[in-house]
Amino acid sequence: MDETTDAKLRSWVDVSTDSHFPIQNLPYGVAIRNSDQKPILVTAIGDSVLNLTEIEKRGVFSTTEIAGKNVFQGSSLNDFMSLGRGAWKTVRQALSRLFQADNPAIRDNEDLKNKVLIPASEVEMVMPVSIGDYTDFYSSREHATNVGTLIRGPEKALMPNWRHLPVAYHGRASSIIISGTPLHRPKGQTFPKDAHAPVFGPSNVLDFELEMGFFVGPASKLGKSISVNDAIDHIFGMVLVNDWSARDIQTWEYQPLGPFLAKNFGTTISPWIVTMDALAPFKCPAPEQDPKPLSYLRSESDRTYDIHLEVNLTPESSDTSETIVRSNFNYLYWDVHQQLAHHTVTGCNVRTGDLMASGTISGPAKKNRGSLLELTWRGEEPITLSSGETRKFLQDGDTVTLTGWCQGDGYRIGFGKCAGKILPAIKE
């Protein structure tokens, strides 16, 4: 077992048992301090963030692989991400040692501690990565079956290719936004029931999608694929993803090429990137794949993770957030390693900072359905909130918050929050 994930590790920083950020996590992000608009690269522990930009200047990493590289001096994590697992591991070990209860280096140096350990309430988290490309997969069998049943009926729910390869499409990287950023209801063409021609206006069938995503670390070369068993060396870490969806726009536009405007108006991600090393203790078996995948998609070991996921909805009329979905990352039929291997099997090169999202994560029970399209069965079965309000799809003023964590023995490895509020469509 990696020493940094030992459940017995304790920090000199006070961390509650339900915190998402114990010493075993140490995720990476980028923040702006309220008193200074210059971005700093940070890690989280408890209710504080550690200024990696400053401690790198002070030589804390001088004995690691990143010595002299100044990878924490920019405005994104890309330079660090590009270095690979050796560098990631040594930095993680150095940070773990800094926070361990018996290490006085920062703990007993009040001046240094005040400079580098900042209350999380005093910073604003911003986009952690310069994202070049974005791919959205369709990797949940339950989600694909539910949607296919709604469109084609249960006999033809899954398309013939679905159980043979990880289906995906290329998304729009420019409209990926950080948690807390509100977004306006999109406008576009729709073809209402019983209409004789398409109409233009705000989407009336706006939805969330419960997803997770991973960021690519080291790039690959054009013409060279990444094997399923080497994929882990190219995956820096994971985030929560809400790939908002305008279902009525999508219904009209998606034939024959798939989603376009229904997806490109906004995709929200959580600000903290949780590393694969932090997630390693929570590896678990993936669903059985039948038929057996072709050889390039066959993994040698457990390659998915037990990550509990929730979706919470807060209407504008209420201060109460209500959990409407409970799911798990391990429901996915196609895992992240298979996704990356398939993405590059043609020789397609991936670049540092590329984001790959899972697609909606649904499970076998109704409460596991990761979108309102499934949860309300295309609006035919509205959900009732504790306030008495009902929802078929999202209304203006609704705030959707995704959260997720792995439950350890007395600690959690969490992702924080991925939240966004729906504003009315812009009037022009």
Catalytic residues: 143
Question: Rounded to whole angstroms, how far apart are CA atoms 385 and 314?
Answer: 10
The answer to whether 392 and 248 have CB atoms below 8 angstroms apart is no
Q: Which contiguous run of DSSP H or E holds residue 325?
A: strand 322-328
Tally of residues, the chain = 428
Q: Which contiguous run of DSSP H or E holds residue 202?
A: strand 199-202
CA-closest candidate to residue 355, choices 262, 226, 261, 217: 217
Question: Rounded to whole angstroms, how far apart are CA atoms 150 and 41?
Answer: 45
Question: Rounded to whole angstroms, how far apart are CA atoms 259 and 209?
Answer: 14
From the number of C-beta atoms within 10 Å of its C-beta (0-12, 13-18, 19+), residue 68 rates as exposed
Strand order in the sheet with 399-407: 183-184, 412-423, 399-407, 308-314, 322-328
DSSP state of 100: B
CA-closest candidate to residue 103, choices 48, 136, 60: 60
CA-closest candidate to residue 414, choices 258, 325, 293, 310: 310
Listed in sequence order, the residues at least 6 apart from 229 whose beta carbon sits closer than 8 Å to its beta carbon are 299, 300, 337
CA-closest candidate to residue 171, choices 102, 105, 245, 119: 245
